[in-house]
């Protein structure tokens, strides 16, 4: 509606954002009304011009810290969720989720911790082939989606986890996966090829791994950003 204002109108007062407290109320109302997490951009689009969404969000998060409802951050998005310790009260709302098979759970964990990861890499880690149904199910749940193709021969597709996954498991970002730092430090998230594969396997192979690892991390970060496009 502000767009209709003639440009020669005395600008300042018209484009002044609502006061801080009002902005907080507005963001609160918008997020309260939505079941899905909303990105800061989505929130901003619905607010008057000049609102500082991030500031309002942080204030709200602090306000709701010890309440029955909490403001959760999900990647670039935000959502109100009931406090986890009160879940037992909500048995009426509880949704009976399909029990995931062990294969599905392991595959999901591998994708989350190793993303972006190809199907061959998942199979290498689990030592068995990944059945079509497993990945389909994870994608159907919207916990997993296809990421960028790997720039290796055959250009295989990679799999990454989604904001829905983060929301479901109460994670702000894939970096908050439980124990991910320890696993990385222990080298257990490396893409270490079996000996005899690849050409330069000698004692140098570790040195070679260095920059590759960095690249993988970059890949991760980039793909994580992708998730919220």
Partner 1 sequence: MPEDFPDISAGGGGAEAASVAERMAAEALLVDVDGFEGPLDLLLTLARTQKVDLRRVSILGLAEQYLGFVAEAKRLRIELAADYLVMAAWLAFLKSRLLLPPDPEAEGPSGEELAAHLAYQLERLEAMRRAAARLMGRDQLGRDRFVRGMAQSITMKRRVIYDASLIDLLQAYARVKTRDEYEPLHVKRGVVYTMEQALERLRGLIPQAVNWGVLEAFLPEGWRLDPEKRRTATAATFAAMLELVKDGRAEIRQDDVFAPIMVRAVRRVEHD
Strands 77-82 and 144-146: unpaired
Q: Spell out the residues 6+ positions from residue 127 whose beta carbon is closer than 8 angstroms to its own.
A: none
Binding-site partner at residue 67 among partner 1, a copy of itself, none, CB < 5 to 8 Å by type: a copy of itself
Span 14-33, contacts to a copy of itself by CB under 8 A? 24-30, 32-33
Span 50-69, contacts to a copy of itself by CB under 8 A? 66-69
The least distance separating a copy of itself from the CB of residue 17, rounded to whole angstroms, comes to 14
Binding-site partner at residue 170 among partner 1, a copy of itself, none, CB < 5 to 8 Å by type: partner 1
Decide whether 21 or 170 has the Cβ nearer to partner 1: 170
Comparing C-alpha atoms, which of 151, 140, 74, 73 is closest to residue 116?
Answer: 151
Q: Does 99 bind partner 1 (CB under 8 A)?
A: yes
Cα→Cα distances 21→27, 55, 151, 179, 189, Å: 10, 11, 49, 38, 45
Q: Are 135 and 159 in contact (CB under 8 A)?
A: yes
Q: Does 170 bind a copy of itself (CB under 8 A)?
A: no
Span 110-129, contacts to partner 1 by CB under 8 A? 110, 112-113, 124-128
Which of residues 7, 10, 19, 84 is near partner 1 by CB under 8 A? 84
Comparing C-alpha atoms, which of 54, 179, 62 is closest to residue 113?
Answer: 179
């Amino acid at each position: 509606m502000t767009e209709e204002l003639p440009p020669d109108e005395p600008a300042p007062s018209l484009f002044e954002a609502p006061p801080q407290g009002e902005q907080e109320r507005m963001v609160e109302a918008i997020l309260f009304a939505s079941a899905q997490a909303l990105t800061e951009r989505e929130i901003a689009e619905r607010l008057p011009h000049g609102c500082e969404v991030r500031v309002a969000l942080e204030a709200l998060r602090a306000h709701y810290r010890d309440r029955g409802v909490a403001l959760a951050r999900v990647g670039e998005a935000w959502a109100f969720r009931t406090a986890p310790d009160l879940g037992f009260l909500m048995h009426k709302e509880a949704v009976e989720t399909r029990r995931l098979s062990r294969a599905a759970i392991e595959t999901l964990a591998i994708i989350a911790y190793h993303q972006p990861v190809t199907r061959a890499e998942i199979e290498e880690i689990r030592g068995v082939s990944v059945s079509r149904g497993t990945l389909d199910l994870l994608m159907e749940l919207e916990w997993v989606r296809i990421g960028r193709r790997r720039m290796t021969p055959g250009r295989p597709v990679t799999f990454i986890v989604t904001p829905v996954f983060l929301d479901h498991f109460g994670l702000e970002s894939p970096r908050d996966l439980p124990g991910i730092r320890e696993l990385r430090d222990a080298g257990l998230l490396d893409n270490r090829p079996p000996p005899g594969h690849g050409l330069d396997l000698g004692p140098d192979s570790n040195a070679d791994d260095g920059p590759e690892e960095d690249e993988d991390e970059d890949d991760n970060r980039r793909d994580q950003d992708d998730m919220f496009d």
